[in-house]
Homo-oligomer: A and B are copies of this chain.
Amino acid sequence: MANKTAPDSSRRSERSRRAIFDAALALVGEVGYDKLTIEGIASRAGVGKQTIYRWWPSKAAVLLDAFTADADTYRGALPDTGDVAADLKAVLRATVDEFNDPAFQAPYRALAVAGASDEELSRTFVARLLEPGIDVYTDRLRVAREAGELAAGTDVRLGAEMLLSPFSQRWLMRTGELTYAFVDALVDQVLHGLRPRG
């Protein structure tokens, strides 16, 4: 009996969890972080709001879990073909496609805006999403440094920021287009400075 009930209940929970994440991401993109409510998420997901409160203490917690549930599928897995320039271009081109997709970027923008204005929320946002995002690039540059593709003294964390920040800034502040040509030039110009000399 326990054997039968547990998987059903677990499948049901997983379905609810996914519905709640989808509802939270869709809603925050539509109404913004300030107007997002647990009630709104529950209604869109077709669950009772007690279901949400049982699992998460706040709308911020729901959203951050929703983002990382997706993010975990690629986290820690920047490609390593032995050609760091090619690998970075491939990943950043895929990221260009994502951030030019209104459905993908709207919830992310809503969370970034909320994080920029709310210092408390930003601590969690940075720790859960931004810092791990910088880390995978830092790690890839470290592997390249160890393989001799980059100079021995390269500050790989700073290198990761030089790659990611111009991208993020263009997207968030709308100071420029996100194109393949832009990320290719960015990767080339950043890596050019980090290559071994002589």
Contacts and interface: CB of A to CB of B under 8 A. Distances in A.
Interface of A: 32, 109-110, 112-113, 115-117, 119, 122-123, 125-126, 130-131, 134, 155, 158-159, 161-162, 164-166, 168-170, 172-176, 185-186, 189-194, 197
Contact of A168 (B110, B123, B165, B190): B165
A189 B162 contact: yes
Q: How many copies does the complex hold?
A: 2
A169 B165 contact: yes
Given A32-B117, A155-B185, A193-B190, A112 B173 contact: yes
A115 B193 contact: no
Contacts of A186: 158, 162
A129 to B, nearest CB: 10
Nearest to A197: B197
